[in-house]
Amino acid sequence: MTTATELAPEAGAAPTPAKHRATQEYSPRMRFVRDSAIVAHRNLLTILRVPTLLVTATIQPLMFVFLFAYIFGASLGGSQYREFLLAGIFTQTVAFSAAFTTVGLAGDLQKGIIDRMRALPMSRLAVLMGRTLSDLVVSVLSLAVMVGCGYIVGWRINGSIADAALAFGIILLFAFAMSWVGALTGLLSSNVEVAQSAGLIWLFPLTFISSAFISAATLPGPLRVIAEWNPITAVAASGRKLFDNGAPPFFPQPTGWPAEHCVEYAVFCSLAILAVAMPLALLCYRKVASR
């Protein structure tokens, strides 16, 4: 028979807080989801407190839209080129979001925030997942701003709603994958200044050696091959296909397996990037956190 003494807590022992008991009852998966959400919420609050970060994420794509649509677009097909252009601008913008992740994570490292998180009973993957998820929210906002801007300059979704939803889903999947590349770059950077350079130096050639703004068929020799297999080309081409946005009539039509299977190849590229970047970023985080 259980005695009252057995049920009573030890003398002098502090009672377990209800919040701590509730935390212990979470499954590992639920703790990971909760921790990721907390980190993502913290990062979004930082953006709200520093509005210039949000301005940078939305103004830059608008500059590219008007620059290419009206300054270069007049000599590249006018309204037809603007329809061709927008899917490339969408893809370029979410790719450049990787630099946002790079600088943010490098800043957390430099300020010691990562060291504080390491001391907490939370998943290491949740720290990186929270950062990439918050940056995905920023990508969604940037994409929404660009869609509105696109309608102003004459871009339209000519395909079905389902195809358009699939196109945006592919673009956001690519944004999420690129955020993990940005996280890896940020963890490898010694400080924020290095991260700012490292986060963009590889993005410019990756973006412009593609069919984001022109037909890849016009590029010479090796550049053409690189552009045809570039993930930026695949995501932009899948967007044009699903939005039913054609190219100007004088643009050479792309050929080859990546062009004919652009939707499948775009999804494969994003998943492959995630499969490589996520474990490498987690490995770098463990090394950085153990210093």
Q: Record the pTM.
A: 0.84
Residue 247 CA from chain centroid, whole number = 26
Per-residue pLDDT of the chain (291 residues; tens, 9 = 90+): 444 444 344 444 444 444 444 445 567 778 888 888 888 888 888 877 777 777 777 787 788 888 888 777 766 767 788 888 899 999 998 998 888 888 888 888 888 777 777 777 777 788 899 999 998 998 998 899 889 888 888 888 998 999 999 999 999 999 999 999 999 998 888 778 788 777 778 888 888 899 888 888 888 888 999 999 999 999 999 999 999 998 888 888 887 899 999 999 999 999 999 999 999 999 988 887 665
Enclosing domain of residue 72: 29-289
**Whole-angstrom distance, CA of residue 204 vs CA of residue 114:** 29
The answer to whether residue 265 sits within a structural domain is yes
The answer to whether residue 41 sits within a structural domain is yes
- Structural domains in the chain (count): 1
The backbone torsions φ and ψ at residue 152, rounded to the nearest 5 degrees and listed phi first, read -70, -40
The answer to whether residue 270 sits within a structural domain is yes
The answer to whether residue 157 sits within a structural domain is yes
CB atoms within 10 A of CB 48: 9
The answer to whether residue 19 sits within a structural domain is no
CB 123 within 8 Å of CB 82: no
The answer to whether residue 10 sits within a structural domain is no
